Structure 1
Amino acid sequence: MQATQPLVGKETAFITGGASGIGRATVLRLAEDGFRVVVIDRNALQVEALVAELVQAGYDAVGHAVDVCDRSKISALIDAEARVDVMVCAAGIGPSCAFDAISDEDFRAVLEVNVLGVFIASQEAVRRMKPGGRVVTVSSRAALGGGGFAHYVASKAAVVGLTRAMAMDLRQRRIAVNSIAPGFTDTGMTRAMTPAQHAAASALEPAGRPAEPHEIANAIAFLASPRTSFITGQTIFVDGGKSLGGLGL
């Protein structure tokens, strides 16, 4: 689904899970910031529509309908670009399920997308990155704990740990690796909740509402910028302050 040819002098950002939710908002924000954006997502129709929208608006964009866990395809699409400056790992799944009802298959599926997918995309990117490259993972406030989705909580806690480990391994190469941990955000994933569940969850937020995807994308863009490349190994919670506690919530 290539829409334009890569420009050698232009910074290029890859975004997994880039066709919807936080990933889509990040694609739009990074395109506005002047990056060539490479959209990676399993949903071919959404990828095609987003790339067409970006190109029509005059942005430099390309899209690939690829599973983030397919290493050979991830490797090939990265090789097709002239440069690798930023990798944003936003692909993820988060089904809700009581702890005693989670099957082995369910647990493995969540870990595969949320952790292995981050590992593969990050590793393939940093193998080609020059000093000054940036990796931004998307973890979650759920890394602090939560009920009803233990497999998701475990996966996002793993992303935080993986982010720190990557940052330590890559700091001598001057590649920055950080994570954004969103709180409850209004995406297709959370809209899968019943209206009553969504309203109840929103009411528990300090602002009385979920975050909008663009609010999370703004934080991702901060860490994706070459101006913040001295920050590494950090996890920034973007949750309206709920993770601070002390609000009676």
Structure 2
Amino acid sequence: MTHSSISSSRPVAFVTGAAQGIGLATAARLARDGFSVVAMDRSAAQLQSAVAKLVEQGLDVTAAVADICKREAVCAVLDAAPRVDAMVCAAGIYNDAKLLELTEDAFRQMLEVNVIGTFIPAQEAARRMKAGGRIVTISSRGALGGTRFAHYVASKAAVIGLTRAMAMELRDAQIAVNSVAPGFTDTPMTRSAPAEMFSAWEKIEPSGKAASPDEIANAIAFLAAPSTSFITGQTLFVDGGKSLGGLGI
């Protein structure tokens, strides 16, 4: 796999989990912001179809099929590009299970994809970045806690801790590392829940609806921009204010 269409004169951004949802919206947004974007996902047909639609819009996006939990695959994608300026780790999974019914296998899979699948692309990107590089991880408002998804909560809380640790080690290299923590967002992942559950979730949002992936992509693009050089180690909650708690009376 090569990225022969990528110009070394443009900043190059990589987005994992880019076949759908937040990752796809982010790939489109970064391309509109002037990046050459490498959209990464393991779902080949879905990724190639999504990227083809972006290319039809005149956007500079290239598809790269890769499993982000496999270091060799990630390295192959990064090494095929002329430079690495930004890495957005948007790949992730979610499923619900009551605490007392949660299995070790389900817990391990969640940590493997959501934590290791963030660590490997971020680490390999950092190894190839020059000063001014940007890494953006995707956590979740769920990191604050919740019922029926303890393994997801643990994985996203780990992403926040990992983000801070990476930011501390990379600050002398002038590489910024930040996280975006979306609230309830309308994506194929959340739409996989029963319709009545999705509707119930929407009703408890302050706005009465889920965020669009574009809302989350806006925040990611802000943190991926070269102009945000003085922001690092932060987690930005994009959840319509729900994480504030309290009662409005």
Normalising TM by the smaller chain, what interval?
A: over 0.9
**Matching residue of 1:235:** 235
**Matching residue of 1:145:** 145
Q: 1:41-62 CA distances to partner (integer Å, 9 max, x unpaired)?
A: 1110111112212222222221
The alignment's TM-score, normalised by the length of structure 1, stands at 0.97
Deviation at 1:121, TM superposition (A): 0.4
Q: 1:64-92 CA distances to partner (integer Å, 9 max, x unpaired)?
A: 12111010010011010001000000000
1:33 aligns with 2:25: no
Instruction: Give distance in 2, aligned partners of 1:3 and 1:56.
Output: 18
Indicate if the aligned counterparts of 1:166 and 1:177 stay in contact, CA closer than 8 A.
Answer: yes
Which amino acid is 1:30 matched to? L
3-state DSSP of counterpart to 1:63: strand
Which is worse superposed, 54-63 or 13-22?
A: 54-63
Which amino acid is 2:99 matched to? F
1:107 aligns with 2:107: yes
Give the alignment of 1:34-183 within 5 angstroms: 34-183=34-183
Q: CA RMSD in A?
A: 1.3
3-state DSSP of counterpart to 2:227: helix
- Segments of structure 2 that go 5 or more residues without pairing to the other structure are none
**Matching residue of 1:245:** 245
Instruction: Give distance in 2, aligned partners of 1:15 and 1:247.
Output: 37
Instruction: Give distance in 2, aligned partners of 1:52 and 1:62.
Output: 9
Instruction: Give distance in 2, aligned partners of 1:229 and 1:247.
Output: 36
Task: State the aligned residue count.
Answer: 249
Q: 1:75-128 CA distances to partner (integer Å, 9 max, x unpaired)?
A: 011010001000000000010000111111110000000000100000000000
Which amino acid is 2:10 matched to? K
Indicate if the aligned counterparts of 2:28 and 2:59 stay in contact, CA closer than 8 A.
Answer: no
**Matching residue of 1:210:** 210
Indicate if the aligned counterparts of 1:4 and 1:60 stay in contact, CA closer than 8 A.
Answer: no
- Segments of structure 1 that go 5 or more residues without pairing to the other structure are none
Same amino acid, percent of matched pairs: 59
Indicate if the aligned counterparts of 1:2 and 1:63 stay in contact, CA closer than 8 A.
Answer: no
Instruction: Give distance in 1, aligned partners of 2:26 and 2:2.
Output: 19
Deviation at 1:2, TM superposition (A): 5.4
Instruction: Give distance in 2, aligned partners of 1:230 and 1:51.
Output: 32
Indicate if the aligned counterparts of 2:69 and 2:120 stay in contact, CA closer than 8 A.
Answer: yes
